[in-house]
């Protein structure tokens, strides 16, 4: 009965493959300079260009803002010997700050960092800080990002369209905190970098928690929004907005639409609203409410609690889906909601939870499979081995979610051998890793610059070279100094350039490399002016290349004879030009 009622939430593999294809098309749209403005999946460049290699060293701070808690971290990297995460401290994110004004929010973040530094006796140290900020930002460099939109349960005034790093720096300076904000990192990027420190195959980061998002390492040649085409850069997909243009309307149910209308951001983050913990509990409540009103559950008796938004949370959904105690948990939770369920009610409610969370898993798997397919195609591999770094409350605490996700991803992309690596220290440490990698690359760059310094020529040196060359050119042109000149300035006896009236058939020889080329060139003049060339390449064996002159020219003549026979013009008498790529002192053009 529940299966029939929620038929549209049960997605077949064919539907998931179709979602994959739609998401791949949106990724391409987001990466294009001309198509990005209308793309829902924004594919934001993170300016993280390198994964950790284990040689990072130094002491770093990190702050992580974006979930139900604010986290402060202190991390020490020890040059290949791993890291010591000395301490992480969690702070609440009160509603008055996350739905208030920007100045108050960043003052609160600075207060928390100052408290953390005092706790760790770090007030007198000047340390670099990485800032994990779990909201879509348009970055123009690693330490700068303009907020595009608040998501999840955040709605802070006066921050949208401003540089969030500047906001944090101002607040830290106001509180006299002795830190230097060097990197702005999305939480997915932080997750990928944290896991990348332990597994260098990690090139994808996924969050499935209060919100959902993913990042991956994209080839620079495909990123129109950033100059350059060498190497790779991490792209923050912002996949939570997938479908905001109506691309997923055929998959959204009446319950998804009702939930969206009652949210803080109607019409936005529609993919996220079908996947993340902030919304799954509410989806279950809306389904149970309608089923009860239709007399399918609880003898049609609706309680005040069931009518109240937010009364069923993700923690309840997870508890109801537990393998052994799921049914008893379901009865207990429903009783607390004053619903007095029968055993059949409990089984039905448990099944509703399974369908809602399984749909979340399936949609997440389809989008992740699209990213993995793109990675494999970028590398031009038939089969790829890679690691996905993953974090978030849904993935970590739901009893079935991780297992289901792994199974569906592997079914959708059988050509990818995927390892899923749980981020044990969260995305905050990832900001410290990004900062440490930036430090390492800067140090390497300094060494390279020092090694290459002798090759860096000043304008004054180039002028000097120009003057010396001018002098040598003049020496080579003068009869009395030509013999001692290094630049020989040899006359070619070519006294004119083509004017378009040339016509006829000509043979041409080209000798200078490891091969020898014979060409037949047909030139037409007048209104139908054209040049047509036919050629054949002949190898020059090493013994001839380093033998006698007679052997070389005998070989050349044999090649010419072969070519004339090949072209069907054996015995023809044609003028011939000879390209000879070695210095010759000419007395005339021939």
Instruction: Give the residue carrying structure tokens 């079935």.
Output: 400
3-state secondary structure of 585: coil
Measured distance CA(375)–CA(418) in Å, rounded: 12
Measured distance CA(77)–CA(55) in Å, rounded: 8
Angle between helices 13-31 and 401-412 (to 10 degrees): 80
Cβ–Cβ < 8 Å for 98, 135:
no
Measured distance CA(312)–CA(282) in Å, rounded: 6
Residue 482 in tokens: 């030509």
Measured distance CA(103)–CA(82) in Å, rounded: 37
Cβ–Cβ < 8 Å for 30, 43:
yes
Angle between helices 428-452 and 187-198 (to 10 degrees): 70
**Which among 29, 152, 273, 331 is annotated as catalytic?**
152
Max intra-chain CA distance, the chain: 116
Identify whether 187 is a catalytic site residue.
yes
Residue 538 in tokens: 């002949």
Exposure string (b/e) for 282-303, b if CB count within 10 Å is 16 or more?
bbbbbbbbebbeeebbbeeeeb
3-state secondary structure of 460: helix
Give the closest residue to 505 by CA, choosing from 525, 487, 484. Answer: 525
Measured distance CA(350)–CA(586) in Å, rounded: 95
Give the closest residue to 16 by CA, choosing from 405, 397, 380, 282. Answer: 405
Cβ–Cβ < 8 Å for 394, 353:
no
Contacts of 73 (CB under 8 A, 6+ apart): 61, 62, 63, 64, 85, 87, 88, 425, 428, 429, 431, 432
Cβ–Cβ < 8 Å for 428, 113:
no
**Which among 83, 187, 256, 345 is annotated as catalytic?**
187
388: which strand partners? 204, 420
Exposure string (b/e) for 564-590, b if CB count within 10 Å is 16 or more?
beeeeeeeeeeeeeeeeeeeeeeeeee
- DSSP element (H, E) containing 361: helix 343-378
Positions annotated as catalytic residues are 152, 187
């Amino acid at each position: 009965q529940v299966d029939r009622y929620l038929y549209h939430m049960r997605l077949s593999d064919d539907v998931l493959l179709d979602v994959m294809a739609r998401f791949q098309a949106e990724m391409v749209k987001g990466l294009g300079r001309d198509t990005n403005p209308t793309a829902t999946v924004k594919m934001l460049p993170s300016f993280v260009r390198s994964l950790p290699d284990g040689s990072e060293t130094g002491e770093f701070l990190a702050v992580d803002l974006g979930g139900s808690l604010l986290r402060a971290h202190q991390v020490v990297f020890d040059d290949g010997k791993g890291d010591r995460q000395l301490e992480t401290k969690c702070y609440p994110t009160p509603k008055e700050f996350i739905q208030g004004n920007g100045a108050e929010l960043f003052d609160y973040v600075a207060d928390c960092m100052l408290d953390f530094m005092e706790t760790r006796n770090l007030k007198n140290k000047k340390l670099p800080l990485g800032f994990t900020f779990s909201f879509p930002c348009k970055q123009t460099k690693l330490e700068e990002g303009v907020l595009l939109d608040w998501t999840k349960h955040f709605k802070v005034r006066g921050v949208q369209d401003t540089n969030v790093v500047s906001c944090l720096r101002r607040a830290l300076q106001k509180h006299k905190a002795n830190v230097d904000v060097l990197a702005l990192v999305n939480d997915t990027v932080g997750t990928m970098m944290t896991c990348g420190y332990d597994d260098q195959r990690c090139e994808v980061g996924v969050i499935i928690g209060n919100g959902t998002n993913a990042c991956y390492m994209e080839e620079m040649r495909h990123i129109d929004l950033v100059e350059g085409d060498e190497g790779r850069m991490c792209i923050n997909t912002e996949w939570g907005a997938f479908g905001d243009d109506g691309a997923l309307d055929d998959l959204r149910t009446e319950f998804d639409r009702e939930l969206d209308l009652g949210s803080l951001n109607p019409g936005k983050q529609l993919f996220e609203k079908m996947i993340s913990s902030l919304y799954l509990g509410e989806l279950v409540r809306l389904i149970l409410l309608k089923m009860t009103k239709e007399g399918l559950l609880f003898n049609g008796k609706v309680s005040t609690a069931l009518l109240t938004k937010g009364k069923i949370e993700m923690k309840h959904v997870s508890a109801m889906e537990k393998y052994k105690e799921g049914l008893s948990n379901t009865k207990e939770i429903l009783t607390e909601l004053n619903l007095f369920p029968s055993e059949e009610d409990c089984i039905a409610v448990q099944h509703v939870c399974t369908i809602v969370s399984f749909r979340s898993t399936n949609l997440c798997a389809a989008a992740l499979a699209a990213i993995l397919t793109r990675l494999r195609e970028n590398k031009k591999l038939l089969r790829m081995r890679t690691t996905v770094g993953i974090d978030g409350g849904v993935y970590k605490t739901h009893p079935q979610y991780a297992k289901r996700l792994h199974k569906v991803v592997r079914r959708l992309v059988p050509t990818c051998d995927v390892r899923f690596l749980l981020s044990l220290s969260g995305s905050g440490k990832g900001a410290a890793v990004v900062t440490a990698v930036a430090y390492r690359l800067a140090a390497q760059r300094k060494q390279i610059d020092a090694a290459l310094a002798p090759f860096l020529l000043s304008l004054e040196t180039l002028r000097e070279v120009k003057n010396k060359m001018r002098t040598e050119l003049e020496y080579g042109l003068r009869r009395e100094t030509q013999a001692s000149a290094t630049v020989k300035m040899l006359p070619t006896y070519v006294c004119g350039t083509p004017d378009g009236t040339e016509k006829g058939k000509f043979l041409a020889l080209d000798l200078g490399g490891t091969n020898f080329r014979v060409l037949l060139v047909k030139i037409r003049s007048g209104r139908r002016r054209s040049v047509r060339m036919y050629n054949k390449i002949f190898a020059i064996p090493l013994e001839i290349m380093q033998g006698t002159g007679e052997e070389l020219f005998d070989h050349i003549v044999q090649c010419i004879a072969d070519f004339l026979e090949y072209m069907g013009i054996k015995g023809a008498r044609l003028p011939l030009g000879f390209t000879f790529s070695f210095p010759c002192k000419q007395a005339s053009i021939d």
